[in-house]
Amino acid sequence: MRIARFSIDGNVAFGAVEGDSPPGSTDGLVLDIIKGIPFGDFELSGTKVPLTSSDAKTRVRLLPPVLPNKVVAFGRNYAEHAKELGNEVPDAPFAFFKPSTSVIGPGDEIAYPSFSNELHHEAELAVVIGRMCREVPRERVKDVILGYTCANDVTARDVQKREKQWARAKGFDSSCPLGPWVETDLDPSDLTIQCTVNGQQRQLGRTSEMIHSVEDLIVNITEAMTLLPGDVILTGTPAGVGPLSVGDEVAVTIEGIGTLTNKVIKRG
């Protein structure tokens, strides 16, 4: 099931996405509104709204699929990406955080931070946590996952290099696009992941190239802290990261999920 979070006429709800559409398009898709929230048992209401409508009163805006308490991101989890930036591959998973205020949704704008001159895209598979969990054994990892979505770990690369720690470089407002929805029925072990900028391919890899699997990452982080429903795990980016400029349209596409598209603007 594809679960989206959306607003319509000022009201926010979750809905199951139904139908088929061309890649990167919402034409032909409808939302069956969910009663309540998708963290636990829920029902479909049977009330359906089209994702694309010419009527302003029924126009749907896709929001970030979840509002995480925290985003736990893992760096250097693809060997070729570590190599392209001149970094060693860490022996164990290497975690950092992006604040909830960094999260934006599909179609939202990435604001180029005023303190950086080198903004990079990083296409990533994101894991959405479905229930509160701590010290999760490997055989129970699937039980705590709601599903998967696309992410862009937008990074101020010059600031990352200069400041050594990554709080500002990866945690600025709008640095964590997520979407377009959560896919609950997916095997994440070998999916194509790619990034385009203005329609030109920049990144192309497979999740099977990850050094540490989804199971590894969740076992690792829950040894240290509790994850809450809606928390997000970023699993690392394949090689091919590169610069973004004001006016660029950046799109992350993951097999079995869909496409997350955002435009870069000058920060006001």
* Best CA proximity match to 31, nearest among 53, 12, 13, 50: 50
Task: Indicate if 109 and 27 belong to the same structural domain.
Answer: no
Is the pLDDT assigned to residue 21 strictly greater than 90?
no
Instruction: Give the pLDDT of residue 161.
Output: 93
Task: Indicate if 262 and 149 belong to the same structural domain.
Answer: yes
Give CA separation, 109 vs 18, 21, 93, 263, 267, in Å.
Answer: 26, 23, 30, 5, 10
Task: Indicate if 216 and 179 belong to the same structural domain.
Answer: yes
Amino acid at 224: A
Q: Are strands 30-35 and 11-18 parallel, antiparallel or unpaired?
A: antiparallel
Residue-wise pLDDT tens digits, 232-264: 999 999 999 999 999 999 999 999 999 999 999
Nearby residues of 32 by Cβ (< 8 Å), 6 or more positions away: 15, 16, 18, 44, 45, 46, 47, 48
Domain final residue, candidates 62, 92, 112: 62
- Domain hosting residue 125, numbered range: 71-266
Distance, CA of 50 to CA of 58 (rounded, Å): 8
Distance, CA of 205 to CA of 212 (rounded, Å): 15
Task: Indicate if 153 and 240 belong to the same structural domain.
Answer: yes
CATH code (residue 159): 3.90.850.10
On whether the CB atoms of residues 239 and 205 are closer than 8 A, the answer is: yes
Domain final residue, candidates 62, 79, 106: 62
Task: Indicate if 51 and 33 belong to the same structural domain.
Answer: yes
Domain final residue, candidates 15, 33, 62: 62
Task: Indicate if 50 and 94 belong to the same structural domain.
Answer: no
Q: Is 71 helix (H, G, I), strand (E, B) or coil?
A: strand
Residue-wise pLDDT tens digits, 78-91: 988 878 878 778 88
Task: Indicate if 46 and 114 belong to the same structural domain.
Answer: no
Neighbours of 94 (CB within 10 A): 18
Domain count for the chain, please give it.
Answer: 2
Task: Indicate if 123 and 194 belong to the same structural domain.
Answer: yes
Task: For residue 3, give both structure tokens.
Answer: 């679960």
Is the pLDDT assigned to residue 113 strictly greater than 80?
yes
Residue-wise pLDDT tens digits, 174-217: 999 999 999 999 999 999 999 999 999 999 999 999 999 999 99
Instruction: Give the pLDDT of residue 56.
Output: 53
Beta strands in 130-214 (DSSP E): 145-152, 155-156, 176-183, 192-197, 200-206
Q: Provide the percentage of residues in the chain whose pLDDT is more than 90.
A: 84
Task: Indicate if 122 and 172 belong to the same structural domain.
Answer: yes
Task: Indicate if 110 and 211 belong to the same structural domain.
Answer: yes
Lowest pLDDT segment from 8-17, 51-60, 183-192, 253-262? 51-60
Is the pLDDT assigned to residue 23 strictly greater than 80?
no
Task: For residue 247, give both structure tokens.
Answer: 């006016």
CATH code (residue 8): 2.30.30
Task: Indicate if 16 and 76 belong to the same structural domain.
Answer: no
Per the confidence metrics, is the pTM higher than 0.85? yes
Distance, CA of 210 to CA of 213 (rounded, Å): 6
Task: Indicate if 214 and 142 belong to the same structural domain.
Answer: yes
On whether the CB atoms of residues 258 and 180 are closer than 8 A, the answer is: yes
